[in-house]
Amino acid sequence: MKKISLFIAVFILSFNVVAKEWKTIRIGVEGAYPPFSKTEADGSVTGFDIDIANALCDEMGAKCTLVKQDWDGIIPALMARKFDAIIATMDITEERKKKVAFTDKYQHIPARFVALKGAEFEATNEFMKGKRVGTQRATSMDLYVSDNFPDAQIKRYGTFDEAYLDLKAGRLDYVIADSARNY
């Protein structure tokens, strides 16, 4: 399986950029991707990506507002100017590069398949035929499983946590997610 590199994505609203002094910046974050972005009981968002956002704002001397957005709508929300930038652990893909500009990567986290203990696994379309595979929609893992295992029954979720719950309940055979998750 190809390794999937994760990147911090900070996007500028337009490719026709003019110099601007940023005093206030609205930053799109997911809030459902621990340890990178997690919504706490009080509604606040914490995690590694949030720490990066705060450090960048401090360095720029800007006031930043975090705007929570579901993952599958994060790029459309940026394009609709709901916020000025996204700070999220995001793969850089050719399709995404057509819409937004990326910074350099800051980490590399490969993807993995997860199954219940004792389950067999082969990364072939023949083996995966008819298997129920869960993933988070609009992610690189969604694209990978769709491209490589077209005969699998792919179920897409709003968050990886939802997929893991279905795996534990026996409604899925496998989940594909990044290896930073501890399940």
Whole-angstrom distance, CA of residue 45 vs CA of residue 53: 11
For the chain (length 183 residues), average pLDDT per consecutive 10? 35 43 91 90 95 93 94 95 92 88 84 94 96 94 95 95 96 91 60
Residue 143 phi, psi dihedral angles, 5° rounding: -60, -45
Per-residue pLDDT of 83-127, as tens digits, reads 999 998 888 888 889 999 998 887 778 889 999 999 999 999 999
**Where exactly does CATH 3.40.190.10 map onto the chain?**
7-97, 111-178
Q: In 85-105, which positions are buried (b, 16+ CB within 10 angstroms) versus exposed (e)?
A: bbbbbbbbeeebeeebebeee
> Residue 176, SS3?
strand
Give 7-97's CATH code, choosing from 3.40.190.10, 3.40.50.11540, 3.40.980.10, 3.40.50.1820: 3.40.190.10
Give 111-178's CATH code, choosing from 3.40.190.10, 1.10.600.10, 3.30.70.330, 3.40.50.700: 3.40.190.10
End-to-end CA distance of the chain: 20
At residue 93, the pLDDT reads 84
At residue 33, the pLDDT reads 85
